[in-house]
Structure formats: structure tokens, C-alpha cells
Amino acid sequence: MNGLMQGKRGLIMGLANDKSLAWGIAKKLAEHGAELAFSYQGDALAKRVIPLAAELGSDFTFECDVSSMASLDA
């Protein structure tokens, strides 16, 4: 690929599994050179999101619940 997203960073939210729209977007961004971070909500999703992030070469994952101000402040 031509590296259209080379040097760009993105945050992927809402990833649930490898069938998610967010997964398709993340794969294309990574394919074009973007550096990605992934958020998840709760342990159940962490078990799915962390391996998917690793598949795209990202080790930057974190828990984030946008309905909780305490989570957003962290």
C-alpha cells in the first residue's frame, strides 16, 4: 500500500470482535500505515480486543467507559 496514513494515529472504539465495522476500519487504517490504539469496556471485551489489537501490531489498549466521567478522566 501507499502509506496514506503513515505517521497518523487513530483511536478505535466500539470494537467487539472480528466481524465489527470497527475491525474493518482498523485493518484498513493499519494497512495504510496508521498507528492505532484500542479501547474496550469491561473484562469480557478486553479478552477479545487485546488479541485483535496485537494482530495489527498494537499494544496500546485501555479500558474506557464513555458513560463514566471517572473512566474518561483516567
Which amino acid is located at 39 in the chain?
S
3 within domain boundaries:
no
Which residue, chain included where needed, has cell 483516567?
74
Provide the pLDDT for residue 34: 97
1 within domain boundaries:
no
Residue 48 grid coordinates: 477479545
35 within domain boundaries:
yes
33 within domain boundaries:
yes
Tens of pLDDT, residue by residue over 10-58, are 999 999 999 999 999 999 999 999 999 999 999 999 999 999 999 999 9
**With 80 as the cut, is the pLDDT of residue 1 above it?**
no
Its pTM stands at: 0.87
66 within domain boundaries:
yes
Provide the pLDDT for residue 66: 80
4 within domain boundaries:
no
Which distant-in-sequence residues (6+ apart) come within 8 Å of 73 by Cβ?
A: none
Strands (E), 2-69: 9-12, 35-40, 61-63
Count of the separate structural domains present in the chain: 1
Q: What residues make up the domain containing 62? A: 9-73
